[in-house]
């Protein structure tokens, strides 16, 4: 894209790991903010590429998360090099931190950030921190991990409402694995180039409302011909219940014993409007004001339906 890549590094990921990958024509990069439907897009790609719901390996081995610090990088690159099918690779790195290749299709999905915050909070409570730390230590070494952890902000505490606002207005914006600014920046890197032919920008809410239509649209954008008779089984396999029933195969890192307290809870709700359980209408102007600081108005309007209060209401 002609711009110098940004390096995104946290105690959990490092976008510099992309430097070791050699792209092939037809590769697919699934780049979404955390909890915006990443695993869903991986599943849809797998179903459309293989045209079967039966896989020979867990989904996160078929479609590895390249920049996460849970496996040694040489192992991940070797797995990708050995793949002979059309590759589709997961990342939570924004587009400006990824190598850009016109032969590669880049997928991104948005989700109402208020639901992202609620889903992320549930995900954090379901993850065993000690197991995660042990995997990262094995992958990068004690010294590197300690250095990364030293610069990481503390996890938010307090009530669900207090944790939500700590995610919206963190003490150190942009430094955690996820916060509102990180989500909106990630989406904006795609929004600004959404008209390019190898950029596909989707909405989580549209996938919920019209899964088959969105799957057909994505197949067309990827140039994949799916036999008409195959669609019902493929769509069923991509539903929330269909994926939740196969959590041990589909949830990322579920193959690591003890990573989740309950792997099925990775697929926690699969719905919209969860944020209403902790926020009221009176909270929306405060939230909207922060969104306006972090995202252009057209992107914010596209993400949030119905629309947020306008700045004149703040």
- Mark 173-208 as b/e (b = at least 16 C-beta within 10 Å): beebbbbbbbbbbbbbbbbeeeeeebbbbbbbbebb
> Does residue 33 contact residue 109 with C-beta atoms inside 8 Å?
no
Residue position matching structure tokens 């008779």:
229
* Mean local confidence (pLDDT), 71-78: 96
Given 92, 185, 186, 304, which residue is catalytic? 92
Rounded Cα distance between 38 and 261, Å, is 21
Q: Give the structural domain span for 229.
A: 15-313
Is residue 3 one of the residues assigned to a domain?
Answer: no
> Does residue 45 contact residue 101 with C-beta atoms inside 8 Å?
no
Q: How many domains does the chain have?
A: 1
Is residue 260 one of the residues assigned to a domain?
Answer: yes
Is residue 228 one of the residues assigned to a domain?
Answer: yes
pLDDT at 272: 87
CATH number, domain at 24? 3.40.50.300
pLDDT at 76: 96
Task: Sort strands 105-110 and 28-31 into parallel, antiparallel or unpaired.
Answer: parallel
pLDDT digits (tens, 9 = 90+) for 229-278: 999 999 999 999 999 999 999 998 888 888 988 888 888 777 789 999 99
pLDDT at 257: 80
pTM for this predicted structure: 0.94
Query: Residue 159 pLDDT more than 60?
Result: yes
Is residue 8 one of the residues assigned to a domain?
Answer: no
Q: Which two tokens stand for residue 56?
A: 């020979």
Count CA atoms within 13 Å of residue 55 on its CB side.
Answer: 23
The residues with which 108 forms a beta bridge, in sequence order, are 201
pLDDT at 80: 97
| CA distances, 79 to each of 63, 242, 250 (Å) | 10, 27, 18
pLDDT digits (tens, 9 = 90+) for 259-270: 988 888 888 777
pLDDT at 4: 86
**Is 261 noted as a catalytic residue in this protein?**
no
Q: Which of 259, 286, 271, 289 is nearest to 130 (CA)?
A: 259
pLDDT at 306: 77
């Amino acid at each position: 894209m002609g711009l110098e890549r940004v390096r995104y590094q946290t105690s959990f990921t490092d976008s510099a790991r992309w430097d070791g990958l050699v792209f092939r024509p037809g590769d697919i990069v699934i780049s979404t903010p955390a909890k915006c439907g990443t695993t869903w897009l991986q599943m849809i790609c797998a179903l459309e590429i293989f045209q079967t719901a039966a896989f020979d390996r867990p989904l996160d081995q078929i479609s590895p998360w390249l920049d996460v610090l849970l496996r040694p990088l040489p192992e991940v690159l070797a797995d990708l090099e050995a793949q002979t099918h059309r590759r589709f690779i997961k990342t939570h790195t924004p587009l400006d931190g990824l190598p850009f290749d016109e032969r590669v299709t880049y997928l991104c999905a948005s989700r109402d950030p208020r639901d992202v915050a609620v889903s992320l909070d549930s995900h954090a409570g379901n993850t065993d921190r000690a197991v995660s730390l042990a995997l990262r230590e094995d992958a990068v070494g004690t010294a590197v991990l300690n250095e990364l952890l030293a610069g990481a902000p503390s996890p938010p505490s307090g009530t669900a409402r207090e944790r939500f606002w700590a995610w919206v207005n963190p003490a150190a914006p942009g430094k955690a694995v996820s916060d509102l600014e990180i989500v909106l920046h990630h989406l904006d890197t795609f929004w600004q180039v959404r008209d390019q032919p190898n950029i596909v920008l989707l909405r989580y809410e549209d996938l919920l409302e019209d899964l088959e239509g969105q799957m057909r649209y994505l197949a067309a954008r990827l140039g994949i011909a799916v036999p008409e008779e195959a669609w019902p089984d493929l769509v069923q396999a991509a539903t929330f219940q269909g994926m939740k029933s196969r959590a041990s195969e589909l949830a990322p890192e579920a193959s690591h014993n003890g990573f989740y307290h309950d792997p099925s809870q990775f697929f926690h709700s699969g719905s919209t409007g969860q944020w209403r359980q902790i926020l009221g209408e009176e909270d929306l102007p405060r939230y909207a004001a922060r969104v306006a600081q972090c995202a252009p108005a057209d992107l914010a309007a596209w993400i949030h339906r119905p629309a947020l209060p306008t700045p004149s209401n703040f």
